[in-house]
Structure 1
């Protein structure tokens, strides 16, 4: 993953978000929802907890950024 991140940053220097950590998060996301539209983050391993968070985020208007 480290080598992939380096290669992507080299190939696309104008783009951001290709750190090793971000790529690992992207992979975890894809594994969590292989056949669904991606709408959430990957920190929660349990599918039920993810869906509960998603429902609450929609209900309460939560966003990724909090000030």
Structure 2
């Protein structure tokens, strides 16, 4: 199980309502509404670890 980064709900990646790619990571969402909010402002919903991984991936896509 993962967590929807917008609302914090537990989400099973296999049955998630929606997903987005950002910074080389896949994020799963409980609803299209949460996905839309994330897609508008992804940095708002990322924790420090997610931000660091996104920066690393943007600098070196092979990472």
TM over 0.5: no
More strand by share: 2
More helix by share: 1
Greater RCO between the two (CA within 8 Å, min separation 6)? 2
TM, length-normalised to structure 1:
0.30
